[in-house]
Amino acid sequence: MSAMKEALLLEGSKIAKRVEESLREELRRIQSKYQESPKLVAIQVGTPPASALYVKKQKDTAGLLGIQHELLQIEETASESDVIQIIQDLNRNPKVHGIILELPMPAQIHPQRVLMAIDAKKDAEGIHVDNLGRLLMQEAKLIPSTALAAFELVLAAGVPLAGKEAVVVGQSKIVGRPAAFLLLEQKCTVTICHTGTAKRGFLEAHVKRAEVLIVAVGKPNMIPGSWIREGAIVVDVGINRVEGKTVGDVDFEGARSRAAFITPVPGGVGPLTVTMLMKNVVQAYLWQKDESRSQ
């Protein structure tokens, strides 16, 4: 008997290079037409170590592309109104084209209220209610960057998606829900699974039916390899630390022997997320110049 073929890896870094080349071309055009480069401002309240690596990746990627990046570090004791005032000043600044709020925030600040203060046209993460509403109405300008990365990895498989059974495990507003709407736009038949699905005992049945599977829940190896449909496209958004190793939400080794395409963890969605954030910054710039296109 011949050995079973392993799934092809959907590596975020390789796909990021393709997206970045396209962005460089657009940025050259912007520089030529407007004599400036888009600028992203990251707001960090205090110095939470959890966001330090992400901020560094933003700065590095922006630098490679030719996007301006500024980190505003605000004292940890700042009030919510202080942070909102800073955001409103950035909203009014025509030299700032994208704003990102780094999480976590100190206890005295409600992240959602602060986020809603960001001008929707400068919402680099694409998670303002106006932008999520545009996604629902198929008029998206800025899309949550992690969901966009997951979707880009599905597209990278090069498989026609119309009519495919797609299952998204996790219903967060930054990954699961927007990813489901992106798949829906491709004419997939989309099922969203969540804690209610698991409590009823139906999660396995739904996952086994998935020709396209996106998992974003933050529970290590919660999807066994035996649940993966033969020939499926599997995108694992989960990043979990187990005994000093980084693992996803899907049992990678078990899934790899059944899927046709699969993202590694680490190395899948993560490396592409920052690139998609930069794509949003460019898109935000064009939107502010009234020459934006739907993504």
173/104 same-domain check: no
Domain residue limits at 228: 144-270
pLDDT of the chain along its 295 residues, tens only?
334 578 999 999 999 999 999 999 999 999 999 999 999 999 999 998 888 999 999 999 999 999 999 999 999 999 999 999 999 999 999 999 999 999 999 999 999 999 999 999 999 999 999 999 999 999 999 999 999 999 999 999 999 999 999 999 999 999 999 999 999 999 999 999 999 999 999 999 999 999 999 999 999 999 999 999 999 999 999 999 999 999 999 999 999 999 999 999 999 999 999 999 999 999 999 999 987 666 6
**Whether 113 and 151 share a structural domain:** no
**212-215 and 165-169 beta bridge pairing:** parallel
Asked if 162 and 101 sit in the same domain, the reply is no
Asked if 152 and 116 sit in the same domain, the reply is no
Residue 292 has a pLDDT of 66
In-domain check, residue 108: yes
Find out whether 82 and 72 touch, Cβ atoms under 8 Å: no
- Please return the burial class of 186, using the count of CB atoms within 10 Å of its CB with bins 0-12, 13-18 and 19+: middle
**pLDDT at residue 59, rounded to an integer:** 97
The reply to whether 103 and 196 lie within a common domain is: no
**Is 111 part of a structural domain of the chain?**
yes
pLDDT in the model for residue 3: 46
| Number of domains the chain is built from | 2
Q: What is the CATH classification number for the domain harbouring 206?
A: 3.40.50.720
- pLDDT of amino acid 294: 65
Does 285 map to a domain? no
Residues 116 and 150 placed together within one structural domain of the fold: no
* pLDDT for the residue numbered 293: 67
Asked if residue 91 belongs to a domain, the reply is yes
pLDDT score of 295? 65
User: What is the 3-class SS of 29-88, one letter each residue?
Assistant: HHHHHHCCCCEEEEEEECCCHHHHHHHHHHHHHHHHHCCEEEEEEECCCCCHHHHHHHHH
> Contact, 177 vs 171, CB < 8 A?
yes
Q: Which of 122, 156, 188 is the last residue of a domain?
A: 122
150 and 266 share a domain?
yes
* Residue 275 is assigned to a structural domain of this protein: no
